[in-house]
A and B are shown apart, each in its own frame.
Chain A
Amino acid sequence: MPGYADPGFDTLALHAGAVPDATGARAVPIHLTTSFVFESSEHAQSLFNLERAGHVYSRISNPTNAVLEQRVAALEGGIGAIAVASGQAALHLSIATLMGAGSHIVASTALYGGSQNLLHYTMRRFGIDTTFVKPGDIDGWRAAIRPHTKLLFGETVGNPGLDVLDIPTISGIAHDAGVPLLVDSTLTSPWLMKPLALGADLVYHSATKFLSGHGTVIGGIVVDGGSFDWAKAYALTGKFSELAAPYDGFHNMNFSEESTVGAFLLRARREGLRDFGACMSPHTAWLILQGIETLSLRMTRHMSNTEKVVQFLASQPFVSRVGHPMLESHPSHALAQKLLPKGAGSVFSFDLKGTREQGKKFVETLKVFSHLANVGDCRSLVIHPASTTHFRMSDEALASAGITQGTIRLSIGLEDPDDLIDDLKRALRAAEKAGA
Chain B
Amino acid sequence: MMELTVNGATSYCYTGGKPFDAAKPTVVFIHGVVNDHSVWILQSRYLANHGWNVLAVDLPGHCRSLGEAPSSVEEAALFIGALLDAAGVQKAALVGHSWGSLIALEAASRLKERITHLVLVGTAFPMKVSPVLIETSLNEPEKALTMINVFSRSTLAAPPSALGPGTWIYGLGMALGRRVLASNTKVNVFHRGFKACDSYTNGEAAIAQITCPVLFVLGAQDQMTLPKAAQTLIAKARASGKTVQVTHLPVGHHQMTEAPEETLSAIRDFLAN
* A49-B155 Cα distance, complex, nearest whole Å: 27
Nearest-CB distance from B171 to chain A (Å)?
Answer: 4
Contact at B42–A65, with CB atoms within 8 Å?
Answer: no
| Cα A254 to Cα B221 with chains together (Å) | 34
Instruction: Write the nearest CB–CB distance from A14 to chain B, whole angstroms.
Output: 10
B163 pairs with A265, CB closer than 8 A:
yes
A80 near B: Cβ within 8 Å? Answer: yes
Residue B198 at the A interface, CB < 8 A?
no
A2 an interface residue at 8 Å Cβ cutoff? yes
In the complex, per-residue mask of B32-57: 1 if CB is within 8 Å of any chain A CB, else 0:
00001110011001100110000000
> For chain A residues 39-68, which have a beta carbon within 8 Å of chain B?
46, 49-55, 61-63, 65-67
In the bound complex, residues from chain B placing their C-beta under 8 Å from that of A260 are 36-38, 63, 176, 179-180
Report yes or no: B160 in contact with A66, Cβ–Cβ below 8 A: yes
B172 touching A258 by the CB < 8 A rule? Answer: no
- Say whether A7 contacts B156, CB under 8 Å: yes
Enumerate A246-302 residues with CB–CB distance to B below 8 Å. Answer: 251-254, 257-262, 265-266, 269-270
A17 contacts B by Cβ under 8 Å? yes
Are B179 and A16 neighbours in the complex by a CB distance under 8 Å? no
Q: B164 interface residue, CB < 8 Å from A?
A: yes
CB interface residues, A 225-239, toward B, < 8 Å:
225-227, 229, 231
B38, B155, B160, B165 — most chain A CB neighbours (10 Å): B165
The answer to whether B160 touches A74, judged by C-beta atoms less than 8 angstroms apart, is no
Given A1, A19, A79, A269, which contacts B175 in the complex, CB threshold below 8 Å?
A79
Judging by beta carbons under 8 Å apart, are A18 and B38 in contact? no
Residue of B nearest to A226 (CB): B175
Checking B45, B178, B221 against A50 with a beta-carbon cut-off of 8 angstroms, the contacting residue is B45
CB distance from A44 to the nearest CB of B (A): 13
> Contact: B157 with A15, CB < 8 Å?
yes
B150 within 8 A of A: yes
Contacts of A49 in B (CB 8 A): 17, 45, 49
Are B165 and A69 neighbours in the complex by a CB distance under 8 Å?
yes
Whether a CB of chain A sits under 8 angstroms from the CB of B208 is no
From B17, B163, B170, B260, residue with most partner A Cβ within 10 Å: B163
- A111 contacts partner chain B, Cβ-Cβ < 8 Å: no
Within the complex, the shortest CB–CB distance from A55 to chain B, in Å, comes to 6
Residues of A within 8 Å of B264, CB to CB, are: 52
Q: Are A225 and B175 in contact (CB under 8 A)?
A: yes
Contact of A61 among B45, B164, B170 (CB under 8 A): B164
CB < 8 Å: which of A4, A18, A53 contacts B162?
Answer: A53
Q: How far is the CA of A151 from the CA of B64 in the complex (A)?
A: 25
Q: Digit string of B145-172 for contact with A (CB within 8 Å is 1, else 0)?
A: 0100011011111111111111110111
In the complex, B252 has a CB within 8 A of chain A: yes
Which of B75-92 touch A at CB < 8 Å? none
Chain A residues, CB < 8 A from B175: 79, 225-227, 261-262
B157 touches A19 (CB 8 A): yes
The list of the 7 closest CB pairs from A to B, nearest first, reads A69-B166, A226-B175, A73-B168, A66-B165, A53-B160, A51-B46, A61-B165
* Chain A contacts to B: CB under 8 angstroms: 1-7, 11-12, 15-19, 46, 49-55, 61-63, 65-67, 69-70, 73-74, 77-83, 225-227, 229, 231, 251-254, 257-262, 265-266, 269-270
Known: A16-B157, A70-B168, A229-B179. 12 other contacts (CB 8 A): A1-B155, A50-B42, A79-B172, A81-B168, A225-B171, A226-B172, A257-B1, A259-B38, A262-B172, A265-B166, A269-B166, A270-B164
Q: List 11 A-B contacts (CB under 8 A).
A: A1-B155, A6-B150, A12-B156, A15-B156, A19-B156, A52-B260, A55-B160, A61-B160, A226-B176, A252-B17, A261-B175
